[in-house]
Amino acid sequence: MVLGERGGWDKNESRYCGVETEYGADMPNLLSFNISSASFDFILAPLMDPTYRPSLMEENKAASCVPPFAGSDLVLSPSQWSSHVVGKISSWIDLDSEDETLRKDSETTLKQEIAWATHLSVQACLLPSPKGTSCANYARCVNQILQGTSNIQLWLRIPLVKTDDDSMDLSADHLDDSWELWNSFRLLCEHHSQLSVALDVLSSLPSANSLGRWFGESVRAAIIHTDSFLTNARGYPCLSKRHQKLINGFFNHSIQIVISGKPVHKLPKACMDSAANQVINNNKNAQHPLGSYLEYVGYLYQKMDPLPEQERFELGYRDVLQSPLQPLMDNLEAQTYETFEKDTMKYIQYQRAICKALLDRVPDEEASTFDIVLMVVGAGRGPLVRASLQAAEETGRKLKVYAVEKNPNAVVTLHSLVKLEGWENVVTIVSCDMRHWDAPEKADILVSELLGSFGDNELSPECLDGAQRFLKQDGISIPSSYTSFIQPLTASKIHNDVKSHKDVAHFETAYVVKLHNVARLAPSQPVFTFTHPDHSTMKSNQRYKKLKFKMPSDTGSAIVHGFAGYFDATLYKDVHLGIEPSTTTPNMFSWFTIFFPLRTPICIRPDSPLEVHFWRCCGSNKVWYEWCVASPCPSPIHNSNGRSYWVGL
């Protein structure tokens, strides 16, 4: 039984809720709750007797070849094992103990349990938390399992703990920040994609910044202990506001909730009987002892805001890497034009900007006599032509429009649009690359939309340098400027997807991606700015920027997998357009974020700022970016000479 339905979002893993059980629990009975209304979807079940120790077996010399497994694989059906059980590895194991016997017992048992779980076709196993601050031998053993042939998912149990920096004693050997433990473990296991985290949620929570880091990590489950629940006025379990917010975050990031522990809330008998869903089910046993906790989690799930339509539409794009468009080298396809033209918000902003420019350009008294020459460069299938004409109508200005477009396929549509709309006397269509067009007259206003997710990355600067030839000395360019921004990210999933190509080139390529399972570690900062028109004599489109990012001091350490890139454009005066998170234009969907990866993820601490360098380089037939981290530890310079990724001129 799932927690609920959420409009259109039926593939979210987090609608399944699990329960942690002890060894010897009656699994068939537990799973039979499934047919009742309030029931768990899966159980976290130990697979082996917790008193078993290989060394004791050998000492007893008793049947040492037959491990004392929990029972037979016949207890459940194969589909139940694989769909409703997560194997729980014995929690006593401690591969980094000083006690060699315990260490060896732990290794033997871990491998036996994983083998048994694999035999059962269990999809995932929960690994107990590392016991101390050191975990190298544990990680070595887990890594051997991961590098083997098994496809099993391993969830490392990590308590959600971070003490404040103020109280942190650097010399002490206790656990200050459980993220550090996870980070060591996963670095030792080389960011293996089958290794994830199951977070133990306790009654006290670290700061929001510290919690935020986990949304960029591969977290599969959050185990909530019954003693983390509060009691509401009617005696039912509930969670603090901060816990609720966290759980909502888990739901949004496809993290499954697991309830663990003994019931600590004594429900009033009357309430239980009167519960609506109990009326139709007379079987007394149907309510699981932890049912009220499950019901509360289900309540939280159901009261989430439904996803907006655009978000639902974009679900399939979350964290999926796409190559950026190269509209200068390649001609866009009809479908691409179609998608972009639907972005109403973008054209509303353009129309507002054009209106203001028209009013500034021609005073009211000359409105009927002055013919403004407006050129749309990169007219595509005409949306900016339409916005321009609507702006002219709105302001009562007279326009003469040139629509310049290099894609001959789009020009076909443009011609039919002009006929259809009766624009023949106003709009001249020019089928030509703006960089080479020999214009018959100069323009008052140049309108273009050549921006990529990173602003200049579709070569708007180079194109407008060419078009500037036919703009009057005092003419207006819309946009008048644009700036790119970057921000350091934790992005485990994206990192693993880039890594799966097993080459350097993919780590030196920028990707367009709808970011979702990421942690944004510091506010974004501006990188490169271009202004149009630019009449300076020694102009260059090369750029170089050094940036220093500092994480909030309560975050703790974090890992940086790369950088999110955004842009913000000033169309005209106060009319802007952009995707930079703090100033983003709402309800606009033409641009996803751009992502610049790092070949080797870099660990940063709040006290040591991240120094990043970005270059925009220009060659005779291409433009490319290079980037590196200079501090706390220098990375190689990425994409030297544009060897892996470039944009063709």
Window of 123-131, 343-351, 571-579, 625-633 that interacts with its own copies by CB under 8 A: 625-633
Using the rule CB under 8 A, which residue among 69, 584, 636, 649 binds its own copies? 636
The alpha carbon dihedral of 200, 201, 202, 205 has a sign of positive
What minimum distance in Å lies between the beta carbon of 611 and its own copies?
8
CB 577 within 8 A of CB 346: yes
Instruction: Kindly state whether residue 603 participates in binding its own copies, applying the rule CB under 8 A.
Output: yes
CB 396 within 8 A of CB 367: yes
Q: Pick between residue 347 and residue 615 the one whose CB is nearest to its own copies.
A: 615
Encoded one letter per residue, x for contact with its own copies by CB under 8 A and - for no contact, window 138-177 reads -xx--xx-xxx-----------------------------
What minimum distance in Å lies between the beta carbon of 544 and its own copies?
6
Q: Which two tokens stand for residue 137?
A: 């031998």
Window of 131-139, 258-266, 384-392, 487-495 that interacts with its own copies by CB under 8 A: 131-139
Q: Give the β-pairing of 195-201 and 219-225.
A: parallel
Instruction: Kindly state whether residue 190 participates in binding its own copies, applying the rule CB under 8 A.
Output: yes
CB 610 within 8 A of CB 631: yes
Helix residue ranges, H only, 166-257 = 178-188, 208-212, 241-252
What minimum distance in Å lies between the beta carbon of 265 and its own copies?
42
Encoded one letter per residue, x for contact with its own copies by CB under 8 A and - for no contact, window 529-548 reads ---------x-x---x-x--
Q: How many residues bind its own copies (CB under 8 A)?
A: 38
Instruction: Kindly state whether residue 641 participates in binding its own copies, applying the rule CB under 8 A.
Output: yes
Active-site residue, selected from the candidate residues 20, 113, 295, 458: 458
Window of 24-32, 134-142, 341-349, 451-459 that interacts with its own copies by CB under 8 A: 134-142
Q: How far apart are the C-alpha atoms of 581 and 107, rounded to whole Å?
A: 47
Q: Pick between residue 169 and residue 273 the one whose CB is nearest to its own copies.
A: 169
Active site residue 217: no
CB 607 within 8 A of CB 631: no
Residues between 89 and 128 with contacts to its own copies, criterion CB under 8 A: 103-104
Distance, C-alpha 114 to centroid of its chain:
31
Instruction: Kindly state whether residue 626 participates in binding its own copies, applying the rule CB under 8 A.
Output: yes
What minimum distance in Å lies between the beta carbon of 184 and its own copies?
5
* 433 known ligand binder: yes
Active site residue 458: yes
Instruction: Kindly state whether residue 187 participates in binding its own copies, applying the rule CB under 8 A.
Output: yes
Q: Pick between residue 240 and residue 640 the one whose CB is nearest to its own copies.
A: 640
Q: Is 132 exposed, middle or buried (0-12, 13-18, 19+ CB in 10 A)?
A: middle
Rg of the chain's alpha carbons, rounded to an integer?
Answer: 30
* 405 known ligand binder: yes
CB 442 within 8 A of CB 475: yes
Q: Is 598 exposed, middle or buried (0-12, 13-18, 19+ CB in 10 A)?
A: buried
Q: Pick between residue 32 and residue 144 the one whose CB is nearest to its own copies.
A: 144
- Rounded to whole angstroms, the maximal C-alpha distance in the chain is 107
Residues between 579 and 598 with contacts to its own copies, criterion CB under 8 A: none
Q: How far apart are the C-alpha atoms of 153 and 86, rounded to whole Å?
A: 10
Comparing CA positions, the residue from 297, 413, 433, 396 lying closest to residue 19 is: 297
Window of 187-195, 271-279, 355-363, 458-466 that interacts with its own copies by CB under 8 A: 187-195
What minimum distance in Å lies between the beta carbon of 460 and its own copies?
22
Instruction: Kindly state whether residue 293 participates in binding its own copies, applying the rule CB under 8 A.
Output: no
Q: Pick between residue 581 and residue 636 the one whose CB is nearest to its own copies.
A: 636
Using the rule CB under 8 A, which residue among 118, 184, 326, 529 binds its own copies? 184
Non-local (6+) Cβ contacts of 106 within 8 A are 92, 93, 94, 95, 97
Q: Pick between residue 67 and residue 249 the one whose CB is nearest to its own copies.
A: 67
Instruction: Kindly state whether residue 58 participates in binding its own copies, applying the rule CB under 8 A.
Output: yes
What minimum distance in Å lies between the beta carbon of 557 and its own copies?
11
Distance, C-alpha 531 to centroid of its chain:
31
Q: Pick between residue 208 and residue 630 the one whose CB is nearest to its own copies.
A: 630
Q: How far is CA 338 from CA 333, 341, 514, in A?
A: 9, 5, 19
Q: Pick between residue 196 and residue 477 the one whose CB is nearest to its own copies.
A: 196
Euclidean distance between the first and the last CA atom of the chain, given in angstroms as a whole number:
56
Residues between 333 and 362 with contacts to its own copies, criterion CB under 8 A: none
Window of 121-129, 130-138, 236-244, 478-486 that interacts with its own copies by CB under 8 A: 130-138
Active-site residue, selected from the candidate residues 295, 449, 580, 626: 449
Q: How far is CA 43 from CA 32, 184, 292, in A?
A: 12, 28, 16
Q: Which two tokens stand for residue 280?
A: 């139709």
Q: Pick between residue 193 and residue 254 the one whose CB is nearest to its own copies.
A: 193
CB 524 within 8 A of CB 145: no
Strands (E), 1-128: 17-20, 42-46, 85-88, 124-127
Residues between 395 and 424 with contacts to its own copies, criterion CB under 8 A: none
Instruction: Kindly state whether residue 637 participates in binding its own copies, applying the rule CB under 8 A.
Output: yes
The Cβ-side half-sphere exposure at 455, using a 13 Å CA radius, reads 30
What minimum distance in Å lies between the beta carbon of 55 and its own copies?
8
Q: Pick between residue 51 and residue 600 the one whose CB is nearest to its own copies.
A: 600
Comparing CA positions, the residue from 30, 69, 31 lying closest to residue 51 is: 69
CA angle 15, 21, 27 (to 5 degrees): 90
* 347 known ligand binder: yes
Q: Which residues are known catalytic residues?
A: 449, 458
**Positions that interact with its own copies (CB under 8 A):** 58, 103-104, 134, 136-137, 139-140, 143-144, 146-148, 183-184, 187-190, 538, 540, 544, 546, 600, 603, 613, 615, 626, 628, 630, 633-637, 640-641, 643
- Annotated binding residues for S-adenosyl-L-methionine, as ranges? 337, 346-347, 405, 433-434
